[in-house]
Amino acid sequence: MEIQFPVIIHGTIWSRLLLAAVLAAVAGCDRQGLDVEQQRKQTPVVSPANAEPLGPEVDIRVLLLQADRVKLTCPGSYTIWKVAGDKKLADLPGQSETTLTFAHGSWQLTDRQGTALFSAPAGAGDILEIRPGPNSLIAVGTEKTMTYRGRVRCILQGDSRIAVVNVLPIESYLDGVVGAEMWSHWQMEALCCQSIASRTYALYQIHRRQGRGHWDLRSTQNSQVYRGLTGENQRVAQAVRQTRSMVLACGPAGKEKIFPAYFSAICGGHTEDAQVVFKQDLEPLKGRKCPYCEKSAPDDYYRWPELELSKELVSRKLLERYSSLKDLKAIVDIEVVQKSEYGRVEKLSLTGSQGLKRTIAAEPFRLAITSAEKPLRSSWYRLKDGRSVWKFQNGRGFGHGVGMCQYGCEQMARQGSNCRTILQHYYPQAILVRAYSGYGAN
Ligand SMILES: [Zn+2]
């Protein structure tokens, strides 16, 4: 039976936190108007705790898909804009389903019967923006569509490929992320932790991109999973609202900066140092002992059963994925050459059929050979040669293991820890700061 500890984060708790906190303002990420790109180029500012936040909530740009044909549905009226010059091109009534393509030097929007609704000449790199009218939303996809808040940008790549990017306020984005990254029925304190970690990660990506490129992150596990309206849930919305604008920061006093607040599903007993996996040396992302996920994670995930993968399959998948390994011809031997302080595999040596050797980091190795049918759940294992197969034994955990352990976070919340205590455990030395105006529901 699940033990419930419905702990509400009160304004007073946040206020106490803020006494010691500094303000990490994401200067210039203005969601009003379309000069976001220009404003994003400004340098982030860190101000003293008693200063008012600089600037409003920020917008985020999320890549949803890349395809030659894009299905768009907007039940209410909508407008189409050319982003360069912020020029309105069309004012259209609601449509059940339309298809956007690029052919013969023009954007083409057609209805189900193939009737042209809109066309406009364009060149490489051209960007259209579709803005739903008031109280309307837009659905986008290739086969099936999913509904999103905010605006949708369609960016022409090459001759006909279209990248579809959702542009929306970061808090609305988080409503579609937190429930996709964590079970929405979990403890409210755990959902609050996830909201803060996801917000921090997203803001860090915005900082990193500084408006460069067409998107800040992807909607998949490569960044963090975002499902738009489908991922929304009342409990998740509550957690996002309660932690509004709160992010994690670290660094010398007065010069704190937000950092990529990584998280993973099940650490297996000890989180990993970000230096090992992501080559990032940050105090809050050093490994931490986690006695919690063992109690909440499914047994066959905390310690997973032996996995056997055929040597031929492992060789083929590695060579397919990484062109730099092609000169190995076929991989005939694999050896663990480096392990992290906490026991995860860090580097492996691959031997080719003609004796050539290459080293590969454990995570790229794992991601190349894992599959839904035969998942290699983590890089915490012992590798054994089993004639025609590689045996992955004594496996522990699920995911890269860096930062907050989500099942550990849930277990801490079940045992009564509040959001601040949990975050302090998984991100030691980090402080909570306010990134933009408004914080907490209380
Ligand atoms: Zn754990």
Q: Please write the tens of the pLDDT for every residue from 271-294.
A: 999 999 999 999 999 999 999 999
What percentage of the chain carries pLDDT values higher than 90?
74
Q: How far is the CA of 296 from the centre of ligand 1 (A)?
A: 9
Q: Which two tokens stand for residue 351?
A: 């031997």
In this prediction, residue 437 carries a pLDDT of: 67
Which range has highest mean pLDDT (14-18, 100-104, 414-418)? 414-418
Q: How far is the CA of 268 from the centre of ligand 1 (A)?
A: 5
Q: How far is the CA of 403 from the centre of ligand 1 (A)?
A: 10
Q: How far is the CA of 282 from the centre of ligand 1 (A)?
A: 19
Q: How far is the CA of 340 from the centre of ligand 1 (A)?
A: 16
Long-range contacts of 311-318 (CB under 8 A, 24+ apart): 311/388, 311/389, 311/390, 312/388, 313/369, 314/369, 314/390, 317/368, 317/369, 318/350, 318/360, 318/365, 318/368, 318/369
Q: How far is the CA of 401 from the centre of ligand 1 (A)?
A: 8
Check if the beta carbon of residue 66 is closer than 8 Å to that of residue 162: yes
Q: How far is the CA of 189 from the centre of ligand 1 (A)?
A: 16
Q: Which two tokens stand for residue 7?
A: 């702990």
| Mean pLDDT across the chain | 85
Q: How far is the CA of 271 from the centre of ligand 1 (A)?
A: 7
Chain Cα centroid distance, residue 406? 14
Q: How far is the CA of 18 from the centre of ligand 1 (A)?
A: 28
Find the radius of gyration of the CA atoms of the chain: 24
In this prediction, residue 419 carries a pLDDT of: 95
In this prediction, residue 381 carries a pLDDT of: 97
- Number of Cβ atoms within 10 Å of the Cβ of 387: 7
In this prediction, residue 107 carries a pLDDT of: 94
Q: How far is the CA of 87 from the centre of ligand 1 (A)?
A: 51
Q: What are the backbone dihedrals phi and psi of residue 344, each rounded to the nearest 5 degrees, phi first? A: -80, 150
Q: How far is the CA of 267 from the centre of ligand 1 (A)?
A: 4
Phi-psi region of 401 (alpha: psi -120 to 50; beta: other; left: phi over 0): left
Check if the beta carbon of residue 132 is closer than 8 Å to that of residue 138: yes
- Number of Cβ atoms within 10 Å of the Cβ of 356: 13
**In the predicted structure, residue 4 carries a pLDDT above the cut 60:** no
pLDDT tens digits for 27-81? 222 222 222 222 233 323 333 333 344 457 789 999 999 999 999 999 999 999 9
Q: How far is the CA of 239 from the centre of ligand 1 (A)?
A: 22
Judged by average pLDDT, the poorest of 8-22, 101-115, 308-322, 356-370 is 8-22
What percentage of the chain carries pLDDT values higher than 70?
86
Q: Which two tokens stand for residue 153?
A: 């940008």
Q: How far is the CA of 53 from the centre of ligand 1 (A)?
A: 34
In this prediction, residue 125 carries a pLDDT of: 75
Q: How far is the CA of 379 from the centre of ligand 1 (A)?
A: 14
In this prediction, residue 57 carries a pLDDT of: 78
Q: Which two tokens stand for residue 242?
A: 């309660």
Q: How far is the CA of 203 from the centre of ligand 1 (A)?
A: 25
Check if the beta carbon of residue 328 is closer than 8 Å to that of residue 356: yes
The residue with greater pLDDT, 14 or 287, is 287
Q: How far is the CA of 441 from the centre of ligand 1 (A)?
A: 29
Helix (H, G, I), strand (E, B) or coil at 322: coil
* Domain chopping of the chain, boundaries: 11-59+171-263+406-434, 69-159, 301-396
Q: How far is the CA of 216 from the centre of ligand 1 (A)?
A: 29
Q: How far is the CA of 60 from the centre of ligand 1 (A)?
A: 30
Q: Is 411 exposed, middle or buried (0-12, 13-18, 19+ CB in 10 A)?
A: buried
Q: How far is the CA of 405 from the centre of ligand 1 (A)?
A: 5
pLDDT tens digits for 227-256? 999 999 999 999 999 999 999 999 888 888
pTM of the model: 0.84
pLDDT tens digits for 144-165? 999 999 999 999 998 889 999 9
Q: How far is the CA of 211 from the centre of ligand 1 (A)?
A: 35
Q: How far is the CA of 408 from the centre of ligand 1 (A)?
A: 4
Q: Which two tokens stand for residue 319?
A: 């060579």
Q: How far is the CA of 181 from the centre of ligand 1 (A)?
A: 16
pLDDT tens digits for 291-350? 999 999 998 999 999 999 999 999 999 999 999 999 999 999 999 999 999 999 999 999
How many angstroms separate the CA atoms of 378 and 267, rounded? 9
The number of helices, as runs of H, and strands, as runs of E, in the chain is 13, 28
Q: How far is the CA of 272 from the centre of ligand 1 (A)?
A: 10
Average pLDDT over residues 103-126: 89
How many angstroms separate the CA atoms of 180 and 201, rounded? 15
How many angstroms separate the CA atoms of 9 and 183, rounded? 19
How many angstroms separate the CA atoms of 56 and 36, rounded? 12
How many angstroms separate the CA atoms of 162 and 164, rounded? 6
Q: How far is the CA of 297 from the centre of ligand 1 (A)?
A: 9
Q: How far is the CA of 182 from the centre of ligand 1 (A)?
A: 14
- Number of Cβ atoms within 10 Å of the Cβ of 10: 13
Q: Which two tokens stand for residue 124?
A: 């490489």
